[in-house]
Amino acid sequence: MGGNQTWITQVTLLGFQVDPALEGFLCGLFSVFYTFTLLGNGIILGIICLDPRLHTPMYFFLSHLAVLDMSYASNNVPKMLANLVNQRRTISFVPCLMQTFLYLAFAATECLILVAMSYDRYVAICHPLHYAVIMSWRVCTILAAASWMFSSLLSLVHLVLILRLPFCGPHEVNHFFCEILSVLKLACADTRLNQLCIFAACVFILVGPLCWVLVSYTRILLAILRIQSGEGRRKAFSTCSSHLCVVGLFFGSAIVMYMAPQSRHPEEQQKILSLFYSLFNPMLNPLIYSLRNAEVKGALRRVLRKERLI
């Protein structure tokens, strides 16, 4: 780390190292997935805004989830698609760090929003008489704003810890975007503090919320089993199963990516895991909520009927 150190101004994203013919196929496939992600989440967001019956706390948080999924995918996927059709796969180092910051902020915010959604379902099913008081619009707004603000501050901490490191090469990131673990490999200094902070953040953002969600849904399940009405029991199961699917997909892939021993997951497998929760999960979320949720399907039919009348 002497006077011969060279500071990098741009890096090369190696992406998926496959045959050129396969790159074209992947670009087309991922473009379709990305389009469905934007379209599906956009439709969910539009339905929630247009239908007054969906102006409830649960759909308030679902609208934030739709915005997060579109932002999350848009942060990573467009550059990946451009690299699949372009031989020059470089990115300036400052935009690379910005991509890392936004990726961490959106991911952490989604974790906390999912926790808020589980708390909303817990109150709605286990304390229905006090639901309107506990989940007031003031409380919902505070929960959503706190999720965004805390996640941004946490991501800023990681960014500051990255900026304190000297980066002198190699100039290649073996990933399709500037994922934080891949970026740290460019540093020519000890990154143990960064690794420790990442692990601590995973415990706080992933393991802690997941335990809260599991405890909440255990109590929800017990409450559902005590419901006498068959229709009420089906409605509760339908709503909660949709949320559990989303929670399982997101938390499961993230924990495997960041908390499992790295030696068990080669870099190409890590790229697939990252692709899963960067593209596949945001694309599947609207399908899960629309196919499993009668209220969303009903709202979509009402919106379509209004359009036909116009």
Report pLDDT for 2.
42
pLDDT higher than 60, residue 263: no
Answer whether residue 296 shows pLDDT above 90.
no
DSSP codes of every residue in 67-105 = HHHHHHHHHHHHHHHHHHH-S--EEEHHHHHHHHHHHHH
pTM of the model: 0.87
Amino acid at 258: Y
Average pLDDT over residues 68-81: 91
Amino acid at 211: C
Share of the chain above pLDDT 70, in %: 87
Task: Report the SS3 class of residue 172.
Answer: strand
**In the prediction, which pLDDT does 4 show?**
40
Q: What pLDDT, in 10s, does the model give residues 223-234?
A: 877 766 666 667
pLDDT tens-digit profile of 12-45?
Answer: 888 887 787 888 888 899 999 999 999 999 988 9
- Number of Cβ within a 10 Å radius of residue 167: 23
Higher confidence at residue 226 or residue 280? 280
pLDDT of 291: 61
Does 104 or 224 have the greater pLDDT score?
104
pLDDT band at residue 238 using 50, 70 and 90 as cut-offs: low
Return the higher-pLDDT residue of 225 and 266: 225
pLDDT higher than 80, residue 242: no
